[in-house]
Amino acid sequence: MNWKILNVSIPVKDIKKSIEFYEMLLGKSVCTDDVMKNIFENDEDYFFGKNGFGLRLFKPKQDLHMERKLQSRRSYVTILVDSLEKIKERLNSNQIIFLYNESNGFKKIQVQEPSLNLIQFVENNNQFNSDYNGFDFGLNWGIHHMNLESLDVRESVSFFSNIAGFNEGKWVAPKNKGDFSIDPMELSIFPISKDNSGLHIIKPDDGFGYRNNFVHNPSIAGHPAFTVKNLSELIKKLQEKKVLFSDAKVYAMPGFHQIYLYDNNANMLEINQSV
């Protein structure tokens, strides 16, 4: 199955305040685009990116207003696939309940993987950029990976392998690897390139932050990771604005300087730069 991360949705309390925060991180947003609007229907949201690719801030509703729709309290990922048909068949034959929606020219599936992370699959059509290796669509930043917290890593892996049809890979660690496990029972990767980008699935590790000397624990609650071109410039801005961050340096992925921080709604974020 050809696939890539199309966009990441992040729940926020006040969209205006969060726009300011994310513009500080990633620069001015490119206008909200129709492709994105058509995928997400009527949510109150705001979009950074183009042609469906990018980052979306959304305001969750009260659950009882959802009328058999799914929403996530956590950041969640939309994955572009070349065909939904097989995924649909496999979900049905495994008796996994999902929502299927075909409107505005888009076909999509919303489903919770075994650790209840909301996953949205969208089928490619000619309104998307079909470059499955591209990760930034010509923006100044890109989505490097989505990290999902899983209480049973192998069960989540089996969902992405056997239902979505993605191929599990092997974690590539740097020489000075930090203090965390790359045992496939505790950490798995579905790579879309050789630089560890793609989907990361991790078992929550309560001592992760403590052992690595971080103020944040990136193994808990999942996080999207954005790649920027000038991380040191961003670090300066965070220091000026007194935003707390953990500078992990190169510790988990060869050639990637990583930092962690919370957004203004305590959503965990990773920002990295290829070095």
Footprint of Fe ion (CB under 5 A)? 147, 225, 270
What number of H helices and E strands is found in the chain?
6, 14
Comparing CB distances to Fe ion, the nearer of 35 and 259 is: 259
Shortest Å distance, C-beta 42 to Fe ion: 31
H helix or E strand, kind and range, residue 37: helix 34-40
Q: Which is nearer to Fe ion, 9 or 147 (CB)?
A: 147
Q: Among candidates 77, 88, 70, which has minimal Cα distance to 1? A: 88
Integer Rg of the chain from CA: 18
Determine which helix (DSSP H) or strand (DSSP E) holds 18, and give its type and residue range: helix 15-26
Task: Give the nearer residue to Fe ion in terms of CB position, either 63 or 183.
Answer: 183
What's the full length of the chain, in residues? 275
Question: Which CB sits closer to Fe ion, 163 or 252?
Answer: 252
Closer residue to Fe ion (CB): 108 or 216: 216
For residue 47, the minimal CB distance to Fe ion (Å) is 22
Residue type, 51: N
Q: Count the Cβ atoms, other than its own, within 10 Å of residue 20.
A: 10
The phi and psi torsions of 21 (rounded to 5 degrees) equal -65, -50
Give min distance, CB of 195 to Fe ion, in A.
Answer: 12
Residue 88's alpha-carbon distances to 100, 114, 198, in angstroms, are 8, 16, 22
Q: Identify which of residues 36 and 199 has a Cβ nearer to Fe ion in the complex.
A: 199
In the complex, the smallest distance separating the C-beta of residue 193 from Fe ion, rounded to whole angstroms, is 15
Q: How far is the CB of 66 from Fe ion (least distance, A)?
A: 29
Give which of 44, 18, 45, 49 is closest to 33, Cα–Cα.
49
Four-residue CA torsion sign, 223, 225, 231, 237: negative
Of 99 and 215, which CB lies nearer to Fe ion in the complex structure?
215
Residue 88 has phi, psi (to 5 degrees) of -60, -45
Shortest distance in whole angstroms from residue 196 CB to Fe ion: 9
> Is the Cα torsion angle 101, 105, 107, 112 positive or negative in sign?
negative
For the bound state, the minimum distance from the C-beta of residue 21 to Fe ion, rounded and expressed in Å, comes to 19
